[in-house]
Structure 1
Amino acid sequence: MTQFLTGPRARAAFTLRVVMEPPFAIEVRDQAALTVLLPVRGHAWICTAQDDPRAVGAAQAAIVRGPDPYRVADTPDREPTVVIDPDQSCRTPDGDHLAITMHQGVRTWGNDPHGGTVMLIGTYQSEAAVGRLVAAALPPVAVFTEHETDPTLLGLLERELTTSGLGQDSALDRLLDLVLLHLVRAFAHRPGTPLPSWMSGTGDLVVGEALALLHQEPAAPWTIAELARRVHVSRATLAARFRTAVGHPPMTYLTAWRLALAADRLAETPATTAAIATEVGYSSAFTFSTAFTRAYGTNPTAYRRRAHERHRRDLPQTAATTPP
């Protein structure tokens, strides 16, 4: 699982301390890939179209997976009083701008500087930033208890949000990554929780070793025979145990892993399509492009263009709404 948990790489993430006094209901339409909500005082309800409302209280945490809209409110039936748009700007449901009205100091936003509900918010704008397979592993809303949430990390994040200092953006990004990794680890350790293949497969020692090899050496010319030789079992044994633990044959899993790596590389680096194809184990850019288009519904060039357009669109507003 370690290779996946190196995925989150926040870059100038939208981080904010939100202070609200009831009544309130924030309709979030930012289309972000994933948001971490950490109440430090009071409580809030998270309401989505896909699930029943979920309550989250002080010292707990919640992860909301996008890009669908959701509502954060003091009661589950509260109508929206604030709308957050895709550029992280805020307005009333009627369209009146609220950026100045809701500004409450350094990276602090809300309807009352002494509000009874205080939340720390961290938003990953794209799946590339959070790690595509990490995001996909989580349900639309995951709520974590006080025992699953580290109070030390919450304290560090709140302190960094409420002070100014050199390298603050980088510090906030790294703290947000650490909080997310801690919560994903807690989620993975929940008994009886359905896990994605890259988590569940590690329960079998042989399959876990095979997964580690595929993750560490994605570009190697793997065959089922070579993988079985490396983990010291027969081809038939590896194939049977891998399918039982992971749900897919080893080579099918390897293809998905290679393409997930490539998607992150396309979004995060200027490397050419040909270079990325070689890096993840494809013999030609054409073969890679065909496989990528089949899996993602768009070719690598278009995927990269959309990712970069989204990043350029988000950065200016993020800087404008979070003064140093």
Structure 2
Amino acid sequence: MDPLSILLDRARGRDAFVLRSILNPPWSVQVRDRAPLNVVAILRGTPWVVPSTGDAVRVDAGDIAVMRGPDTFTFADNPRTPTQVVVQPGPRRTTAAGAELREVADMGVRTWVNGTRTCDDGADDSSVLQIGKYRGLGEIATRLLSALPPLLVIPGTVHVESALVSLLAEETVRNEPGQDLVLERLLDLLLVAILREWFTRPDTDAPAWYRANGDPVVGPVLRLIHSDPAHPWTVAALARRTGVSRATLARRFTDLVGMPPMAYLTGWRIDLAAELLVESDATIDTVARQVGYGSAFALSAAFKRARGISPQRHRDRT
């Protein structure tokens, strides 16, 4: 598997939240729920998205906006419309002053409307947003998504996601057995399509590990490291597998990735360990061996150097 596939495989939704919002003007919804990632497909209308920093961006029907948390952002019919609804952690909805909103209407399965009208009764000026929130992302997903800008807009002219958006919208309003799992998987597929399209743009400032994936020397090394971190890799062993000298591999890897091979391997192992410590009940010694350390003591020493705390402290505080 290539590095992007391995990272995406670990960036699956956990406790994802999917909702359809029908918004009648004037409207302005500020999102403060600190979700690590929001994916919003515009099904209808031409709303604005206002990030916490930077200029407001108008999005059209068919566009997809991706907001990397935990920063605040606002969706509105007009950037000048005062905030009417604030989405807090939970999620729960309040006024801008913090008062609980009880008059908001839930119109059917996973559908929220900010008034009494719906798109079906003549509200031609309504906007319809298909919203997906990732409320839990592991260490590996964080490594991947940190490469994204705070606000990413995929224009509707890119049609690779349109079928997925339509299917996600159809499934959102269904209430069948296993529906939550279906929605999480569809949201995952949509995210994969979005990231793949964005990373392959010629003007994208893609992370170094992604750009290096196409290199005939560094690409295979990255695949070896990502797919088998527990192997006792050395620069010499990696060089033999790619048919170059140690010096050539070290120089080329550092030039393209920005750090030596062993430093990259250590960072990957520590990220994996941090995720496994939270996601599993495995002992620290077991986790250590899964990521390439011979004992809990060896992992603890490396973990403290990298993160400043012990593996047990990391597990206890999350």
The alignment's TM-score, normalised by the length of structure 1, stands at 0.89
TM-fit CA distance, 1:198: 2.4
Question: Hey, what does 2:22 align to over in structure 1?
Answer: 19
Distance 1:98 1:141 in 2: 28
Q: 1:93 corresponds to which residue?
A: 96
Q: After alignment, is 30-39 or 90-99 more displaced?
A: 90-99
Q: Which residue of 2 aligns with 1:277?
A: 288
Find the partner of 2:263 among 252, 259, 264.
252
Distance 1:302 1:79, change over 3 A: farther
Partner of 2:145: 135
After TM superposition, give the deviation of residue 18 of structure 1 in Å: 0.9
Q: Is the 8 A contact 1:127 1:135 kept in 2?
A: no
Map of 1:1-324 to 2, 5 A cutoff?
Answer: 1-98=4-101, 101-112=104-115, 113-114=118-119, 116-128=126-138, 131-148=141-158, 149-307=160-318
By how many angstroms is 1:290 displaced? 3.5
| SS of equivalent to 1:174 | helix
Deviation at 1:204, TM superposition (A): 0.7
1:24-78: CA deviations, max 9, x gaps? 1111111111111111111222222232222222111011111122111122233
Aligned-pair CA distance for 1:100: 5.3
- Counterpart CA distance in 2 for 1:130 and 1:211 is 15
Where structure 1 has 5 or more consecutive residues not aligned to the other structure, the ranges are: 308-324
Gap change, CA 1:63 and 1:225, over 3 Å in 2: same
Q: CA deviation at 1:98?
A: 2.5
Residue of structure 2 equivalent to 1:318 = none
* Contact 1:11 1:129 (8 Å CA) reproduced: no
Cα distance change on mapping 1:290 and 1:228 into 2, 3 Å: same
Instruction: Check the 8 A contact 1:29/1:85 in 2, yes or no.
Output: yes
C-alpha separation between the residues in 2 aligned to 1:180 and 1:212?
22
Q: Distance in 2 between matches of 1:52 and 1:297?
A: 37
- Once residues 61 and 81 of structure 2 are traced to their aligned partners in structure 1, the CA distance between those partners, rounded to angstroms, is 20
How many equivalent residue pairs?
A: 307
RMSD value over aligned CA atoms? 1.8
Greater C-alpha Rg: 2
Q: Tell me the SS of whatever aligns to 1:289.
A: helix
Contact 1:10–1:130 (Cα < 8 Å) also in 2: no
Distance verdict in 2 for CA 1:306–1:80, change over 3 Å: farther
- Cα offset, 1:210, TM superposition: 0.6
- Secondary structure class of the residue paired with 1:127: coil
User: Secondary structure of 2:181's match?
Assistant: helix
Of all paired residues, the percent bearing the same amino acid is: 42
Q: 1:306 to 1:35 in 2, by over 3 A?
A: farther
**CA-CA distance at 1:131 after TM superposition:** 1.3
Unaligned runs of 5+ in 2: none
Tell me the amino acid that sits aligned with residue 63 of structure 2.
Answer: Q
Secondary structure at the aligned position of 2:222 is classed as: helix
Distance across 2 between alignment mates of 1:4 and 1:29? 27
Q: Which of the two has greater helix per residue?
A: 1
Q: 84-93 vs 166-175, which deviates more?
A: 84-93
Contact 1:282 1:288 in 2 (8 A): yes
Change in 2 beyond 3 A, CA 1:302/1:42: farther
For 1:239 and 1:284, how far apart are their aligned partners in 2?
Answer: 27
| Deviating 4+ runs (over 6 angstroms) | none
- Please give the TM-score of this superposition, normalised by the length of structure 2: 0.91
